[in-house]
A and B are shown apart, each in its own frame.
Chain A
Amino acid sequence: MTITETEGRTSWFIACKAEDVPVNGGVCVKYHDRQIALFHFARRGAWYATQNECPHRNQMALSRGMIGSRDTEPKVACPFHKKTFSLETGECLNGDDYQIKTYPVKIISGLVYIGIDQDEN
């Protein structure tokens, strides 16, 4: 029952209501076989989405991680071993050679839309 709409090369789907996401926290969104971690970074008035899987030990856990910042970089820490990743670039901030995927997010009328590149669909 996923509703999508297309805009350029990005197709947007409604993930959930904005209020379903804890303030300054994350949830896991199911999109077909994909798990996407969605974060409401209320302190910055920003929303971020990344893959839910932490590449360190392949755990579906980033959505349960704590978010925060390093200098000005917004980040999430995996609850397993506290690897941290930039919410903007997906880069691992601990110096490890990991990269996570990020997704665009927009809020329209209280609904959270996550954008998927059409090439990936």
Chain B
Amino acid sequence: MKIVIIGNGMVGYKFCEKLIAKSSPLSFNITIFGEEIRPAYDRVHLTEFFAGKTAEDLSLAPADWYAEHHIQLFLGDPIKEIDREKKLVHSVRGLSLEYDILILATGSAAFVPPIPGVEKNGVFIYRTIEDLELMKQWARKSKRGAVIGGGLLGLEAAKAMLDLGITDTHVIEFAPRLMPRQIDEAGSAILKNKLEALGLKILTNTNTTEIQGDESIRAMQFADQSHIEVDMLVISAGIKPRDELAKLAGLETGQRGGIVVNERMQTSDPNIYAIGECALYKNMIYGLVAPGYEMAEVVADHLVGGQKSFSGFDMSTKLKLIGVDVASFGDPFVQACDGRTVVLEDNMKGVYKRINISTDGKYLLGGILIGDADAYNMLLQTAKNKVILPPNPEDIILGSRAGETSGDSVSALPDDAIICSCETVTKENICKAVSLYNCESVDEIKKCTKAGTGCGGCVPMVKDLMLHTMAANGKYVRNTICEHFHYSRQELFDLIKINQLKSYDDVLDMFGKNDGCEICKPAVASILASLWNELILDKGNATAQDSNDRFLANIQKGGTYSVVPRIPGGEITPDKLIVIGEVAKEYHLYTKITGGQRIDLFGAHLSDLPAIWKKLIEAGFESGHAYGKALRTVKSCVGSTWCRFGLHDSVSFAIQIEERYRGLRAPHKIKSGVSGCIRECAEARAKDFGIIATEKGWNLYVCGNGGSKPQHALLFATDLDSETCIKYIDRFLMFYIKTADPLMRTAPWLNKMEGGITYLQNVIINDSLGIATELEKEMQLLVDNYKCEWKEVVDNPELQKKFNHFVNAPNEKDPSVQFEPMREQKKVADWR
């Protein structure tokens, strides 16, 4: 197939390169006609010609390249006529050549406004290396220069003037501001200041009416009667597409120039394509190189049978103009009705940043950066990919500010921090065990350092440290649950959900190996409960539960259990208090008020549990899930019903929340609190989610905890109505349940989350992952499936049988249990 390309500019060259790459050798017979005497060169970096680069430096490929690829290249020989009927082109030097496919890559010429005197010596256009060479000669005897055009190219030309040693240079712009197509007024003002600081004189709103002088330019006259004296002028007021050949050949062209093309870059003659600055696609000329390359790609692809099409191009740009960063992306000038605008303007540093955001605050539409365009790529990607913005989008141009560190993980701790306080093991000890003694499991670290062998509360931290250290040592780390499951908890959660598995054994058969252990069993049991909320003792899952869950009570020293009935929000009637007292007396239980505004009854024998529950249930109590990795309590202050400071009824809201999430199983326990005013008597900020009343509604805080590493909950959303508050909590809890590691509370979960609270807000509030509805649905399923576990046992004699100490002596209690009197109650005998 014979292909003739008219024009050997950047786009024409790129087309050859692409076509060769796509096709087998010699399948196309390619001929190029170029007007200039040089093979294609990098016009974008033309100014570097003055900064010392040679024409060879700027060349895209040497003449040899064309020969190597069997491309005939005719330079300095433009085509003067296209004979479409005979499919022939005729060159100025008299060559005639047949084509099957003709590519017009004729580019553009400088647009020269019809100003009287424009033909005088010393007036230049700024387009080719030849132009530059002429400028260079003239500049030797020039002292005062001017550039017409304050756009991108004009400012480039002004830079060229400075490089040529003409320090006294004016930039003359017809529009009220510089770079009118890319930046707004305020940005232009900053840019103007910066350029003036470099010695340029900027005249905007200025219309040149005459270029004065005899043969050579001497002065410029403006419409406002003012004038300046100059001896050199560069006109860089825009481009006009080179469409004269196309017009001559009868191809369709636009009213203001440009060869009309379709999405395949075909002109009105399907055998003739046009690409680059000469092509007019949907009434638009693309005056940048990137879209030109894209057009070349489309045509090359089309010629080898591909289906690519051109659908417009992002005209975002970033460039350094005379040392000043200027960038413009997306839609830089959004109107007030189409979006909102955030502007940062720093006249001291000469920095201007503007971002345009959709009215709903979700998307970045475009923006302008002047003086500091470091964020350009990130912002461009954000806008292009429709990435959901954080709730405070100004942060993306301001950078994160003090007080918003992304949380602290174990890696931030000092070496001498005590990780295991039972055995006094420091962070350094643990890291050494990993680095020097190659401990790669918590068990090995336990053996090596004793860390985690006491109460075990530090084990998650030990594991974190181990993983961090291993990763730091360059070891591949996969946070798998244990030796039986080669999956993270999150992966396993999804697998169980997708496969609708309901029992531990099924999960182990399908995704695990061997027999399981005390780590994966409760982890999987918890996932099953979080997914389906079925009775945890059903389907053979009882023996996969930790002892507390298996017996629905908390095992305490000596092997007896404690019983915590739910007292939502800490509100209880005198009658119910009396019942608790009666039950405690009847079963000789030690009673204590817990930290979560409930009453704990200690010292219950296993075999007494069902009877104790029965009495409590009859009085209207239900399980408090104190034994589960589940919602524990929602603490409240008395709120506006009694308190003179209270803003809202915190007790009612706490009860509503506690009843909504009661029995909700999670990777770890969940606590909450509701305070009726900022005095925060419910200590809500020490909770996994805390709610504090404001004048206008509720502030929601998330991911706090007390415990061994106290951490305040962070402000998540403000002034919410109750319904929205619950909606966010639904999503938040479900997201936590689905993504946290086993036995990881919300605070460390957030600390380890990339992007921290901002990311979390994005997911929960802005629905950046598009999962909000799903999360709400999943939570609603759990809420709807709630049943009191104690009642299930009380109503089921078969289940009750499991609540005996001896299988072969059901009526006997464990004789090893010993109590001692203390302050009119009893305590369990100490560890032996």
Contacts and interface: CB of A to CB of B under 8 A. Distances in A.
Please say whether chains A and B are actual partners in one complex: yes
Interface of A: 15-16, 20-30, 35, 38, 41, 43-44, 53, 57-61, 64-72, 74-75, 77, 79-82, 84, 93-96
Contacts, number: 119
B809 interface: yes
B104 to A, nearest CB: 73
Given A66-B517, A70-B517, A77-B517, A15 B558 contact: no
A59 B805 CA distance: 13
Query: In this complex, which of B453, B551, B806, B814 has the most chain A Cβ atoms within 10 angstroms of its Cβ?
Result: B806
Contact of B805 (A28, A58, A71): A28
Interface stretch (B78-86, B124-132, B539-547): B539-547
Contact of B550 (A38, A60, A64, A81): A64
Contacts of A74: 515
B521 A68 contact: yes
Contacts of A79: 546-548, 555
Contact of B515 (A27, A38, A41): A41
A38 B521 contact: no
Contacts of B514: 68-69, 71-72
Contact of A60 (B446, B455, B809, B816): B816
A116 B443 CA distance: 33
B445 to A, nearest CB: 10
Nearest to B443: A94
A73 B558 CA distance: 28
Contact of B806 (A30, A57, A64): A30
B525 to A, nearest CB: 10
- The 3 A-B residue pairs whose C-beta atoms are closest, nearest first, are A25-B543, A79-B547, A68-B517
Interface string B498-539: 000000010010000011111011100000000000000000
A43 to B, nearest CB: 5
Interface residues of B, number: 45
Interface in B311-368: none
A80 B395 CA distance: 48
Given A20-B807, A79-B555, A80-B555, A64 B547 contact: yes
B264 to A, nearest CB: 64
B832 A23 contact: no
A81 B456 contact: yes
Contacts of B806: 28-30, 35
Nearest to B802: A22
A95 to B, nearest CB: 4
Contact of A64 (B521, B555, B558): B555
A59 B816 CA distance: 9
A71 B517 contact: no
B374 interface: no
A26 B804 CA distance: 12
Contacts of A72: 514
Contact of B542 (A22, A29, A95): A22
B515 A43 contact: yes
Nearest to B542: A22
Contacts of B521: 66, 68
A38 B807 contact: yes
Interface string B821-832: 000000000011
A94 B453 contact: yes
Contact of B808 (A15, A22, A43): A15
B447 A95 contact: yes
A66 B515 contact: no
Given A22-B540, A24-B505, A65-B547, 18 more contacts: A30-B809, A57-B832, A58-B831, A64-B551, A65-B518, A66-B521, A68-B520, A69-B514, A71-B483, A74-B515, A75-B517, A77-B518, A79-B548, A79-B555, A81-B455, A84-B517, A94-B453, A95-B443
A17 B508 CA distance: 27
A61 B542 CA distance: 16
A74 B515 CA distance: 8
A21 B804 CA distance: 12
Contacts of A66: 517-518, 521-522, 543-547
A25 B525 CA distance: 14
B515 A69 contact: yes
A61 B454 contact: no
Contacts of B558: 59
Most chain A beta-carbon contacts within 10 A, residue among B454, B550, B807, B809: B807
Contact of A81 (B454, B520, B542, B807): B454
B196 interface: no
B517 A69 contact: yes
B559 interface: yes
Contact of A16 (B447, B516, B518, B808): B808
B581 to A, nearest CB: 29
B494 interface: no
A15 B558 CA distance: 24
Nearest to A39: B543
A90 B144 CA distance: 98
27 contacts: A21-B807, A22-B542, A23-B543, A26-B543, A29-B808, A30-B809, A43-B505, A43-B508, A57-B831, A58-B832, A60-B559, A60-B816, A61-B547, A61-B559, A64-B547, A65-B518, A66-B521, A66-B522, A66-B544, A66-B545, A66-B546, A67-B543, A70-B483, A77-B517, A79-B555, A81-B454, A84-B517
